[in-house]
Structure 1
Amino acid sequence: MPPATSTAKAEFPWWLAAALALALAAALFIASSDLYAQVFATVAKGIGITVFVTVVAFALASVIGLGVALMGLSSSRLLRQIARFYVEIIRGVPILVLLFWIAFAGAPAFVAAWNALTAPLQSAGYLGELLVRDVSLLWRAIMALTIGYSAFISEVFRAGIQSVEKGQIEAAKALGLTRAQRFRLIVFPQAIRTILPPLGNDFVAMVKDSSLVSVLGVADITQMGKVYAAGSFRFFETYSIVAYIYLILTVGLSLALRALERRLRRQHQE
């Protein structure tokens, strides 16, 4: 029986060719149709907000997730239990429910706490009273996505860090490296190869979940589509365009992340 040579490597990505052909055909159709061109121009105004929400929320979620992961791997039992509590509770709440809670319960609670803590400064005239309406719905949505995804990202970081062989960490200890130096020079550079694929998947997932911010009236792609469809009753055309734009974003990101993974894999093999 002949060996299974690089069939998978040599296999032509017909699915990608079909997807590109459909995307090109759709683009030509949109350009040639006044109606679809108008819908596209309207919905595309929300791309900037979608990208902004996704990038900012993912960056914040990654920072918080890394912190929670390090707490979970700490030698302190208290820190480990706090990290596990945070991860299990946050992961158990649907993103949409968390979005509503942060927007309409968490934000008012934060404003009340802030005003209570800064009451002396407000009385002295150094600070003005913070109102709930001062906290924009955009940032409430960003914080909800940040908190929701930080729990999932922390597990990605934890698994990646634990994948590093303990023997290398012990060798670094023997060389006299501090805990921070071991993490920066030994652990993280190796863990990132394990972390990157699932982290990229979470980023693509956040692009799609960012559509949930439309329930708060944030002017992202989905919200722009909802507004246009409600005013024109062109639901088929509008939501077809919305789906098309999200597909372009997510498939494009997925391909870019796969290319980055292959590049890192080749560098590691060399």
Structure 2
Amino acid sequence: MTIAVVSTVVFAGVAWLAVTSTPGWERVRFSFFDGDTLVAAWPRVVEGLWLNVRVLVVAALGVAVLATILSALRTLRGPVFFPVRALVRGYTDLFRGLPLIIVLYLVGFGVPGLGLGIPRLPAEFWGTIALILTYSAYVSEVVRAGIDAVHPSQRLAARSLGLSHAKTLRLVVFPQAIRKVTPALMNDFVSMQKDVGLISVLGAVDAVRAAQIETATAANFTPYVLAGLLFVLLALPTLWLTDALSARLRRREQAGSVV
């Protein structure tokens, strides 16, 4: 442990000296790591980050509901349900293929432009809808993979006990499927934590747009660095939880094995 700590400190020190000894370091330090600019931008960027957090919470709940419905529809068997399965497959293929920023433009500017009599809604609303549409496609496929990973005997046993298809999914299949794909779901959540900053393209004054405004005011890129660090701090707990869950599942799978 001591050797690891010492080697890490030495490596960090060498890297720091290598960067700070470059000819352009002072110019870069002033442009990206200016303390006064950071302090001045802090209130507005933090206020914008709070908008990102609110959008993230609502989008995560929406993705959980819609992705569960989509994955359940993909499990329907029989020719009569082929149109439903085809529709869900088309949805997931479409939104997994479209870049999120294009979905944001289509939803944020296209839907209000249809003139459907929808009242004027804030940019963060349309950004949340775009996030839900995109990430539901990814998460539904992850959940479907977890469903497929559950042994068919579990489903057959539940049906033999008289459970309906819906109850079999809800009580037997889904709990096991979610446990199997929890690390993958957490990674998708981390990815959405970063992508929630893209709602700024619709005009929402989140952390990224607030940093852009402060950068234009101060002619300094430090607010962008501040916004990036805040997003990292927001993601760290989820990253640590993902690693802990992955390690726990690995220990459970390897319990009793001989290497």
- What's the TM-score bracket when you normalise by the shorter of the two chains? 0.7 to 0.9
Partner of 1:4: none
Report the CA distance shift for 1:166/1:93 in structure 2 as closer, same or farther (over 3 A): same
Unaligned runs of 5+ in 1: 1-9, 23-31, 116-129
Deviations 1:132-181 (A, max 9, x none): xx222110111011101111111011101111000111111111111222
CA shift for structure 1 position 265: 6.3
In 2, Cα distance between equivalents of 1:191 and 1:159: 8
Unaligned runs of 5+ in 2: 14-33
In 1, Cα distance between equivalents of 2:102 and 2:35: 39
CA shift for structure 1 position 267: 7.5
1:256 aligned to which of 236, 241, 248: 241
Q: Does 245-254 or 139-148 show the bigger shift?
A: 245-254
Report the CA distance shift for 1:189/1:215 in structure 2 as closer, same or farther (over 3 A): same
In 1, Cα distance between equivalents of 2:82 and 2:191: 32
Q: Which amino acid aligns with 2:67?
A: G
Identity of matched residues, %: 32
Report the CA distance shift for 1:267/1:48 in structure 2 as closer, same or farther (over 3 A): farther
Partner of 2:204: 218
Does the alignment pair 1:63 with 2:49? no
Partner of 1:247: 232
Does the alignment pair 1:175 with 2:180? no
Checking the alignment, whether the CA contact within 8 Å between 1:156 and 1:199 is kept in structure 2 is yes
In 2, Cα distance between equivalents of 1:35 and 1:104: 33
In 2, Cα distance between equivalents of 1:67 and 1:217: 31
Q: Report 1:138-153 matches (<5 A).
A: 138-153=124-139
Q: Which amino acid aligns with 1:47?
A: L
CA shift for structure 1 position 195: 2.2
Q: Which amino acid aligns with 2:72?
A: L
> Alpha carbon RMSD of aligned pairs, Å?
2.6
Checking the alignment, whether the CA contact within 8 Å between 2:37 and 2:218 is kept in structure 1 is no
Deviations 1:6-30 (A, max 9, x none): xxxx9x997xx88xx99xxxxxxxx
Q: Secondary structure at the match of 2:181?
A: helix
Checking the alignment, whether the CA contact within 8 Å between 2:37 and 2:223 is kept in structure 1 is no
Q: Secondary structure at the match of 1:177?
A: coil
Q: Which amino acid aligns with 1:93?
A: L
Deviations 1:229-263 (A, max 9, x none): 1111111x112212211111222321123234445
Report the CA distance shift for 1:188/1:229 in structure 2 as closer, same or farther (over 3 A): same
In 1, Cα distance between equivalents of 2:140 and 2:70: 6
Partner of 2:182: 196
Deviations 1:24-57 (A, max 9, x none): xxxxxxxx94432222333111121111111111
Checking the alignment, whether the CA contact within 8 Å between 1:107 and 1:140 is kept in structure 2 is no
Q: Report 1:68-217 matches (<5 A).
A: 68-75=70-77, 76-109=81-114, 112=116, 115=117, 130-131=118-119, 134-217=120-203
Checking the alignment, whether the CA contact within 8 Å between 2:183 and 2:245 is kept in structure 1 is no
Checking the alignment, whether the CA contact within 8 Å between 1:44 and 1:221 is kept in structure 2 is yes
In 2, Cα distance between equivalents of 1:13 and 1:161: 41
Q: Which amino acid aligns with 1:249?
A: L
In 1, Cα distance between equivalents of 2:240 and 2:40: 29
